[in-house]
Structure 1
């Protein structure tokens, strides 16, 4: 999600105002029945839906909270027909007459089947709730996790490729048009479009796909980005069905590709049924008058901060159309926790990227993280922690597992973060003159701060994303600088993430955001330019594609580079040198010259890492380097040398 310097600009939306406002005046609309509802309509006349839509036996947490929605359902009493291993612990009414909460305990020995629930009120209603067999723990092809051996490709499904034109327009949704000439309209990309280009991603060296949210976003404006979800339990039908998503994950796994699910904890869309017909007032943060948030994550751990400032950060709406769930409410917290566990078990996906991570209630974040990792300790998880350059590594490290004592009761259990500090560092290295702590030295001092993380290798490093100006434009459309940036990305510690199109020099500045979210050329029938094929790429695009592919595929097969140790040396002017190595004798030397002049580097001071090595191979050019005593490094060039004994 986008957070600009002083005032967020509705990040992914293109909207113009942000505030913690009272609920916007929205006329409740009919609520769609969940695609996966297990009951025929004639048996559930008084029930619109139950969330979660189904569940599993054998979960580590035996407790299950069902949220029942239906006209006047609160006037019913609930009975559960005898089912071995399942206990009805009770049910409770909420402020709205249209909700009931049912609490169940499912013992470890419970068998799969259908629970028979009966709602006795003005009208008796029966509902069969499905308990499925859990498959994830015994299936090694599911929930594989995401780690530093991976190379993540981030894309926006609506803007990548249109594989199924039949789902472009879905009748009954608030936007029933496709307009590729509008940056805020739907363009028609979908899950099938991504799947059609698995081979392209594999050739590039990608091992994991991160689409922006695929859940339903039935909002009247700029719904293509997905961050204002309107149904927690449904894939947006313009991308495909729930089952299509399950098959998408399965087919990705069959092709050696992992899938990262982009999740939003902090907010939802104002056309979500939970907001249109609110279970209770305390399910959302609602202010009596217009209140603008401060968007300062530092208020959470500020030793001198006020409670009011923290409140203005954690309980304000992210945008006028993005209600803020009250995660301190245990019922809300359980609803959200169960939903994201549901997606993992249902699809077998491999990791979560958590949007606007710091904005959620701190205590909830700890509970949510523990609950998810208790069920899936192997799940990859990293949060968006968009701290500003001036805030520094310490503020970013606060949001991941670290060596800090709890602050205001918060101690992060998030494995990793999106490493904005490293993004700023490489950008400074390639756009500013070298100095004591400026230019190329920014990488040195940023990585020096890794002592604050439990494990910085779990951080996701990147050059740009859907909210930021594309790196090629930031670097002045300088191909040499672009290659240096990409070489750094694929040799640095952590998990590299590439934003779609960076490999073919897609460009533009994020003013507004839609300019950095253009369609990938060739993703639509009739596109004159098809960058998915070598024949369709321009010579310059092909050269950059090959640069990424060569390094990414080399990285994939060389553990020293993706999971080895790291040692760096104090920068010498515009030259910065670091090594990636392991105990098995693999060693890669990376020499960055960010200056405007060629440099001859005396390697004597690197003896600590060069001892025993007599030659090298230049990974990018393929040339042999027979003398390691000195190295000639052209201006704006990075050497990647595999050392030989």
Structure 2
């Protein structure tokens, strides 16, 4: 038996040594002069014993780490060139030699993009496959069918199929977004997502290719350039936590420790984040969250591996530089170790000092959510994140306006703002692609209007999910991802024009658009600090003031009011008096309302001018500038 095993091993070694040396591809596909030194992941055959050289001797290879089967080799370079150049990567072995050219390009100037998003922006989330079909030839399961084909129609009929939306479709409706008041567009990931039901983009099969269903890298670059020409911004969605179940790495990883676990032996990701902020929790309690496979199906990348961490940092840099993106939305943020995020952001800041990042921290707990904001070190290293999404406010908004909880619950969430170094950066929203549609659960159109008004007038940056501006309906995933009306040839009506909208769609569009334009044009709403004047079961009264803004620069170039009174009132018409002594409103001279019923008003009254009399119409949103 031992003689047979020995012979088999010798035979295996002989076959491996004789494999023809090939270089099929390199990740990243290119790099840039004067960028941080890269690690090149070479794909091919016969690489296990190959010797690697670069045609430029100044670019020394510090370390080569091949995979045991010879399918990969990590080339850790000592530096990047100081000037753009094309070099030859040569792999030489006993069975031959292979060569591949590799380009170091010139880095773009800061003026090309990379501007970041801020509280004065309005962000709009687009699930690319469900927004608009701009290229009618890349539809169907494999992106090679005409929109009228049986293949495309079969996919369109599936709730989790590829429906045909693409990057050209987004680019073709930029004018619609501008009319709505959007300043920043966030699209779901553009990675290649080969495999069934991967229309959403979160199951990458190649992290350096744009999926054919969405179009090409050139389509993405044109979209971003067009947005910039319209003085708008673009946010890339990136997923360092995991890849898709159809990723070739799953059966042939570049290194033994590329993933946490294997397809046959892994943990399921735990979504109870308690242990992540508990200083007394053991690593065992954190392991399922940090190492488990999301949804028990998406292979979890081992971000503690130096090679994986380097690969993912470079991947983010590559996409930002290639597209001139202004920011990153980062998926499944708490499922990755804080130390990875610390280094990830330090590298990004070095190259793109104005780029901003927002992380998905799906939790109603402000203590947990704030722990991932940049500058917070109470539970571990500073992650460097510009801001998490404001999920605590999202949950409170739904409790208040969908379930009738007291309006004061919104004030309760704001009371935790001192846990965030920059609460003014928090993106506010009433729903996204992972939640049921707000209008589906709203008891009335008025409830949705009030919820939307809060998102656009409280501190932070409003974020819309495509379709919420027209009161789209939909239950949980996948029903919350219906096609945008008018974006597809099969649409019976279009919501891209006022003429094509029904009455409710038009009312909600007009209301949301008004709020969006007010948010970006009025400094008080764009960046003003916030003080609550009164909150109870059905009324919330607050004041915004730029003189107390944490970041006045975020006000942008808006020339409107520096101070603003905001009143949200639910239910029947009523009158009330609100004391304003010892508040920011003292000495305020109220101007003409910017929004509100003609019968509603606010007056400063009392001998000391220390009370405010309010007369409010039913389900009122009242905005009044203050001098």
Give the alignment's TM-score, normalised by structure 2: 0.88
* 1:270–1:276 CA contact under 8 A, matched in 2: no
**How far did 1:425 drift?**
1.6
Secondary structure at the aligned position of 2:165 is classed as coil
Superposition map of 1:122-137 within 5 A: 122-135=95-108
Q: Which moved more, 1:519-528 or 1:491-500?
A: 519-528
* 2:528–2:544 CA contact under 8 A, matched in 1: yes
Q: Which moved more, 1:418-427 or 1:272-281?
A: 272-281
Once the two structures are superposed, residues 592-624 of structure 1 have per-residue CA deviations (whole angstroms, 9 ceiling, x without a partner) of 223x33221314326633333333222224859
Superposition map of 1:505-524 within 5 A: 505-510=471-476, 513-524=477-488
Partner of 1:499: 465
Partner of 2:540: 576
Partner of 2:616: 633
1:421 matches 2:388: no
**How far did 1:432 drift?**
4.5
Choose between structure 1 and 2 for higher RCO, CA contacts under 8 A separated by at least 6 residues: 1
C-alpha distance in 1 between matches for 2:425 and 2:186: 16
Partner of 1:23: none
The structure-2 alpha-carbon separation of the partners of 1:48 and 1:319, relative to structure 1 and needing over 3 Å to count, comes to farther
C-alpha distance in 1 between matches for 2:506 and 2:604: 31
Structure 2, unmatched stretches of 5+, are 1-19, 548-558, 606-612
Secondary structure at the aligned position of 1:92 is classed as strand
Tell me how many residue pairs correspond in the alignment.
581
Correspondent of 2:82 among 87, 110, 128: 110
Once the two structures are superposed, residues 97-124 of structure 1 have per-residue CA deviations (whole angstroms, 9 ceiling, x without a partner) of 21111111335x6211111221111111
Once the two structures are superposed, residues 55-99 of structure 1 have per-residue CA deviations (whole angstroms, 9 ceiling, x without a partner) of 00122x2x210000102222310112235x522223222233211
* 2:602–2:614 CA contact under 8 A, matched in 1: no
The structure-2 alpha-carbon separation of the partners of 1:161 and 1:317, relative to structure 1 and needing over 3 Å to count, comes to same
Runs (4+) of structure 1 moved beyond 6 Å?
172-176
Secondary structure at the aligned position of 2:350 is classed as helix
C-alpha distance in 2 between matches for 1:266 and 1:176: 32
Once the two structures are superposed, residues 389-429 of structure 1 have per-residue CA deviations (whole angstroms, 9 ceiling, x without a partner) of 3xx21111011125543x2x433321101111011122222
Correspondent of 1:223 among 176, 195, 198: 198
Secondary structure at the aligned position of 2:195 is classed as coil
Secondary structure at the aligned position of 2:45 is classed as coil
Structure 1, unmatched stretches of 5+, are 1-43
Superposition map of 1:247-266 within 5 A: 247-266=222-241
Once the two structures are superposed, residues 241-268 of structure 1 have per-residue CA deviations (whole angstroms, 9 ceiling, x without a partner) of 1121111111111112211101111100
Once the two structures are superposed, residues 306-361 of structure 1 have per-residue CA deviations (whole angstroms, 9 ceiling, x without a partner) of 22111111111113431111111101110111000111111100111111100012
C-alpha distance in 2 between matches for 1:176 and 1:57: 45
C-alpha distance in 1 between matches for 2:194 and 2:510: 39
Superposition map of 1:359-370 within 5 A: 359-370=335-346
**How far did 1:225 drift?**
0.5
Secondary structure at the aligned position of 1:635 is classed as coil
Secondary structure at the aligned position of 2:595 is classed as coil
Secondary structure at the aligned position of 2:358 is classed as strand
* 1:265–1:355 CA contact under 8 A, matched in 2: yes
C-alpha distance in 2 between matches for 1:466 and 1:338: 27
* 1:619–1:641 CA contact under 8 A, matched in 2: yes
C-alpha distance in 1 between matches for 2:456 and 2:269: 37
1:448 matches 2:419: no
1:557 matches 2:511: no
Correspondent of 2:289 among 313, 317, 325: 313
Correspondent of 2:509 among 545, 550, 557: 545
Give the alignment's TM-score, normalised by structure 1: 0.86
* 1:603–1:628 CA contact under 8 A, matched in 2: no
Partner of 1:199: 175
Superposition RMSD in Å: 2.3
C-alpha distance in 2 between matches for 1:280 and 1:421: 39
**Bigger Rg over Cα:** 2
Partner of 1:347: 323
1:567 matches 2:536: no
Partner of 1:376: 352
C-alpha distance in 2 between matches for 1:103 and 1:313: 30
Partner of 2:499: 535
Secondary structure at the aligned position of 1:615 is classed as coil
**How far did 1:505 drift?**
0.9
The structure-2 alpha-carbon separation of the partners of 1:458 and 1:95, relative to structure 1 and needing over 3 Å to count, comes to farther
Correspondent of 1:598 among 549, 573, 576: 573
Once the two structures are superposed, residues 421-476 of structure 1 have per-residue CA deviations (whole angstroms, 9 ceiling, x without a partner) of 0111222222445xxxx521111111111100110112111100111011112222
Partner of 1:276: 251
**How far did 1:218 drift?**
0.4
Partner of 1:70: 44
Partner of 2:129: 158
1:211 matches 2:177: no
C-alpha distance in 2 between matches for 1:499 and 1:469: 11
